[in-house]
Structure 1
C-alpha cells in the first residue's frame, strides 16, 4: 500500500506539501496540487483517516447506540442512519445495547474515546449520568426514538398517541371491551408513553385499564410470551392483547398458539411498531407503524447540523394505524388510517 512518502516522491514535492494538498490548504501552488493529485490517483493512495483526524480534529464518524439490533425496528433505523450519514460524508459506528443500561454506557464511552464527531442514542433507560455528562461537556448528541428527560439535546421521535387513539376506536368499533397491554420498560420514555396513551384512549370510551390487564415487558419476545400466558390464566382473560413493540407481539403470538388458540377467533392481537413480516402471519397483524426511515434520516441531519455549527431542533413525526385482520376485521379490510 502506498504511503504519503511514496506520493511525495512520485510528485517531486515534500511530504509537507502532500499533506497540505490533502487538507486543502490554500498555500499550495496549482502546479504542485495537480502533481500531488495525479500521484495520489496513480498510486491508489488513501489517507489514513485516524491520522487525518488528529490534524483536523474531525473523524467524519458518527456513533449510533441502538437499544436492540435484533429488533427489526432498530435494524431499519440503523440502516436509514447509515445511508443518510454516508450521503453527507460521514461513516457510522454502531453499538448494540441489548436493552441493557450498562452495555449502553460501555458503547457510549468507547465511541467517545474513539473521537467520533457526534453521537446518536436511543436510550435504554432514563437515567444515564454518562450521557448527561457528555451533553454538558458539549458533545454533539441527538436522541432518536427515546430520550432522557432533563438532557438538553434534540430529540427525533414519533408521537404515537393519535395512532393509539385510532387503534382503540377501531377495537371499540369491532365490539371489543376487555383490552390489555404488554407494556415496555417503565424506565423508558416510549414504555411510559404508550401505556399512558392506551389508558387515556380507553377512558374516552368509559373503559378502565385494570392492573391485571397491564403486563410489564422489556421490548423482547420472551416477555411478550410470559405476559400473554399470565393474561390467558386470568379468570376473565382480555379480548384483545396490544403489545407495545413488535418483538413482544411475536412472543404473544407464540403464547396464544401454544395454548391451541387462534387469532382473532379466540383472542385479538395488535402491535405497536409495524414490521414487514406482519403481513405474512396468519392472519396479518393490525399494527401502528412508525416512519422509521424518516426518523433515522432526520436524526442524522440534526446531528450533522450540530457538528457543523448550524441550529438543530427536535422533530416529532406522527405514527399511523395499519388495519389488517388480527382483531376480527372483515377479511377484505386493508385500510390505513392516515
Structure 2
C-alpha cells in the first residue's frame, strides 16, 4: 500500500506539503491539484485510526441538510461530499426534512459519532442544540441559511444583483402586477429574498403590496400551489410571480395549468434556485441560480479552517439570473421598429 512518502515523491513535494493539502491548508491551487492527482494515482488512503489516536480527530465531517428532497440541497450535499473526500475526509449526512425537531435529532446523532466539525443548513430559525454545539467548541459553519444571534460563519449566496436584474427584466416585458410566493414565515432566506425583490421593483416604480405576497405552509409543491391559487383569485391577479423556492415554483406552475391559463401568456413565472431540468420544462423556467457547487466547496474549506483553530469569515457568493421563456421574450430591435412605424 502507498504511504504519504510515496505520494510526496510522485507529486514532487515534501511530506509536510502533502499533509497540508490533505488537511485542507494548501494555499496554492496548482500544488493541491498535483498532490490530489498523486493520491488518486497511487490509491493512497490515510491511516485514519492511527491519526485519530494521535490527534483525537476522526477525519469525519457532519452535514445536516435542510431537505434532501429539494434538488438544490441534493446538489449542495453532493458538492460538500466530493470536496471533503478529495481532502481526505469522510462525510456523514443527516436530513432535517425542514423540521427543527428532526434537525435536532440529526445533530445529536452526529455529535455522538465524534465528528471533527459540523456544516448545517438549518431548518427554521435555529435551536438550542446548535447553541450547545457552539458552547461545546465543536467547529460549526452554517450553509445557505444564516441564523441571527448564532456566532458561526455562514457560507451562502447573495441575490440582490440577480433580483435587481429580474425586476428590470419583468418591467421591460410590461409586467406591472408582480407577486411573490414566499417561504414559511420566519425562514431567513425567504424573508430576505422578498425584501430584496420589493426594493428592486420599487426602483422601477412597481409596487409589491402585501396582498400579492403569499406565505406557503411548507417548501413543497403543494405549498406553492396553494398560494398560487389564492393569488389567482385576487380581484386583480398578478401578471408575474416569483416563487422563492424551486419546488414551490413547480406547484405554482401546476395550479396555473389547472386553471387553463398560460405561462407566460397570462402570467410570468420565476423560480429562485435553478435546477437542470428547468431548461426542459414547458416553457423553460426563468430562475435565479445560486452557485451551488461553489457554495459546497467553500463551506468545506471554511469548516477546515475552524477545525484547525483559525478564524474563518463568512462567505458571500453572487447569485445570477437565468432568463428563459417563462416570462416572455423581449421584442427584438427590428420588431420594435415595426411597432413604432
State the shift of 1:223 in Å: 0.6
In structure 1, the partner of 2:83 is 84
Gaps of 5+ in 1: 1-45, 333-338
Partner of 1:11 in structure 2?
A: none
The answer to whether the Cα contact below 8 Å between 1:121 and 1:142 also exists between their aligned partners in 2 is yes
1:327 and 1:113 map into 2 onto residues whose CA distance is 49
Counterpart CA distance in 2 for 1:124 and 1:193 is: 16
- Residue 212 of structure 1 and its aligned partner are, at CA, apart by 1.7
**Counterpart residue number, 1:242:** 242
Offset of 1:47 from its aligned partner? 9.8
1:123–1:188 CA contact under 8 A, matched in 2: no
Q: Evaluate the alpha carbon distance shift between residue 47 and residue 243 of structure 1 in structure 2; reply closer, same or farther with a 3 A threshold.
A: closer
How far apart are the structure 2 equivalents of 1:95 and 1:137?
Answer: 20
Query: Matches of 1:222 and 1:317 in 2, distance apart?
Result: 30
CA offset at residue 236 of structure 1?
1.1
The Cα of 1:55 is off from its aligned counterpart by 6.0
- Indicate yes or no: 2:202 matched with 1:203: yes
Q: Which residue in 2 is equivalent to 1:6?
A: none
Where do residues 16-95 of structure 1 align in structure 2 (5 Å cutoff)?
A: 53=52, 56-95=55-94
How far apart are the structure 2 equivalents of 1:171 and 1:47? 54
Contact 2:173 2:330 in 1 (8 A): no
**8 Å contact kept, 2:84–2:90:** yes
Q: Secondary structure at the match of 1:271?
A: strand
Give the Cα–Cα distance (whole angstroms) in 2 for the partners of residues 101 and 140 of structure 1: 20
Please state if 1:282 is matched with 2:273: no
Match of 2:175? 176
Partner of 2:100: 101
Bigger shift: residues 169-178 or 217-226: 217-226
Q: Give the secondary structure class of the aligned counterpart of 1:194.
A: helix
Alignment root-mean-square deviation, CA: 1.8
Kept in 2: contact 1:245–1:273 (CA 8 A): yes
Distance in 2 between residues matched to 1:290 and 1:241, nearest whole Å: 19
Deviates more, 1:302-311 or 1:118-127: 302-311
> Which residue is equivalent to 1:37?
none
Q: Report what 2:109 is aligned to.
A: 110
For residues 217-248 of structure 1, what are the alpha-carbon distances to aligned partners after superposition, in whole Å with 9 as ceiling and x for unaligned?
23221111100011111121100111001101
Residue aligning to 1:227: 227
* 1:284-323 correspondence to structure 2 within 5 Å: 284-323=284-323
TM-score, normalised to structure 2, is 0.80
Structure 2: state its 5+ residue gaps: 1-44, 333-341
Contact 1:272 1:288 in 2 (8 A): yes
Relative to the length of structure 1, the TM-score reads 0.81
Flag the structure with larger Rg: 1
SS at match of 1:62: strand
